[in-house]
Amino acid sequence: MEGERPEELLESAFPFLELMSRYRCAMMEVETKLRVLDEEFSMTYNRNPFETIKSRLKKPISIIDKMRRKGMPLSVENIERTLNDIAGVRVICSFPDDIYALAAMLVKQDDIKLIEKKDYIAHPKPNGYRSLHLIVEVPIFLSNCKKYMRVEVQFRTIAMDFWASLEHKLKYKKEIDHSEEIAQELEACAEIISSMDERMQEIRNRIERA
Ligand code: GTP
Ligand code: MG
């Protein structure tokens, strides 16, 4: 920090800050699109397709760590090319059906490009993790150009989110005793949560048909 020309640091930081700012815009675009769908849903069907929506930008230190793990030299171009999850939006729904309905409505918008879809609800991870992940590209309109930016969108039910937060704690606390036992217990809870989500969904369907 105390180099000969501190302005050099700022000059090299600018393209990175500019990239982050673009990701922030893309994240806002996706969040707004989902909020618009929510608004329309509550007008038309008198209910909300999601409970909460949260956006986050990956921290610089996590970007550096991930680029290192992937063995990629650090540059603004490489970061943009390599990482799909710098901008992240998490949508928490009450019911599994709402997840698929919302995801379909988002993806069919004509300015959204679907890059990748991972359905960990239909195909849970071995540890029990469930969520629907989309990588989408959304255009942001700058003063003199239009630029497509990638955003990771994770859709989960409230129960899946509850599970994922607890599991996350296990993952980052490697030294806990009985961690194998805890992992098995978590896997069992994931199954219970999944069948509860389906039953709650079925109850809602019955109420709506009534
Ligand atoms: P990452 O390198 O971790 O981003 O994996 P990936 O690029 O193969 O993406 P994937 O779609 O599998 O996971 C992306 C994100 O989903 C992670 O950063 C987490 O937020 C979440 N996630 C994935 N698997 C798990 C899991 O087993 N437990 C929890 N708690 N979260 C998970
Ligand atoms: Mg990822």
Distance CA 8, CA 33 (A): 39
129 CB within 6 A, ligand 1:
yes
Interval between CA 13 and ligand 2 midpoint (Å): 24
Question: Residue 116's pLDDT is what?
Answer: 98
Q: Report the pLDDT value the prediction gives residue 176, as an integer from 0 to 100.
A: 66
Q: What is the pLDDT of residue 3?
A: 54
For residue 70, give Cα distances in angstroms to 79, 149, 151. Answer: 11, 20, 19
Active site residue 80: no
Q: Give me the amino acid identity at 135.
A: I
How far apart are the CA of 125 and the centre of ligand 1, in A? 10
Q: Is the CB of 167 under 6 A from ligand 1?
A: yes
Question: Atom 17 in ligand 1: which residue has the minimum CA distance?
Answer: 85
Mean pLDDT in order along the chain per 10 residues (210 residues): 62 88 97 97 88 96 94 93 98 96 97 98 97 98 93 98 94 74 94 98 93
Which residue is closest in CA terms to ligand 1's atom 13?
A: 133
The residue assigned the tokens 């009985």 is 178
Which pLDDT belongs to residue 86?
A: 98
pLDDT tens digits, one per residue of 67-92:
999 999 999 999 999 999 999 999 99
| CB of 164 sitting under 6 A from ligand 1 | yes
Of 117, 129, 186, best ligand 1 pocket probe by most atoms within 8 Å of the beta carbon: 129
Please indicate whether residue 170, judged by its CB atom, sits closer than 6 Å to ligand 1: no
Predicted model pTM? 0.92
The neighbour count for residue 102, using CB atoms within 10 Å, is 21
